[in-house]
Amino acid sequence: MTGRKAARGERVAAVAARWLTGFFAPQVLVIVLPPLVGLVTDGWSGAGWGLVASMLCGGVPAGVILAGVRSGRLDSHHLVDRASRTKPLLVAVVAVLVALVLLIWLGAPRLLVATVAAMLAALAVTVPITLWWKISFHAAVSAGTVVVLAHVLPAVPALGVGAPIVATVCWARVRLTHHTPAQVVAGALIGAGTAWATLAAFGA
């Protein structure tokens, strides 16, 4: 009976880890964050700017990854195989850079520009690292998202809710054996650190 309960617990944990990994996937957060930031800080017009950022920063890379999965070139939309990450990540860098230039040129709200710049800063650090070490993008993006939300929403509640979510996402990635504890901790620190530094640099 004890063994059966333990096996059931393992199955539940695995299902929960897979669900968390999908729900808080980097593509999802990158698509959701800009319109939310725009809406909170500049109303519906800001949300419109955020949708533009979402389509470029999240939509374009997600489309490339989906095409890669369907063609068999990529293992999954989570890019579990480190060797297959390079091209999709370079696409993401170019897409975010184009979004940043476009938003600045068109005069988008300052905080939204800072949010996209934070995405680019995180990629600038994590992409070179992933060429030789499989750092967690789930951890980096979720931690960066919490820092940005703590900047535009009341900080204490945002961090109080966000920090446990980041920790749970990190647990899920380790539970699925997609990352080591060191890889998720490094990802979270880089995501949070680059987001904080970028927002500070923009004075946003």
The pLDDT tens digits for 156-169 are 999 999 999 999 99
Domain total for the chain?
1
Domain hosting residue 53, numbered range:
17-202
pTM attached to this predicted model: 0.88
Say if 52 falls within a structural domain.
Answer: yes
Considering the domain boundaries, does residue 11 fall inside one?
no
96-144 pLDDT tens trace: 999 999 999 999 999 999 999 999 999 999 999 988 899 999 999 999 9
Judge whether 9 lies within some domain. Answer: no
**Within a domain: 38:** yes
Integer angstrom CA distances of residue 132 from 56, 85, 153, 183, 203: 27, 11, 36, 12, 34
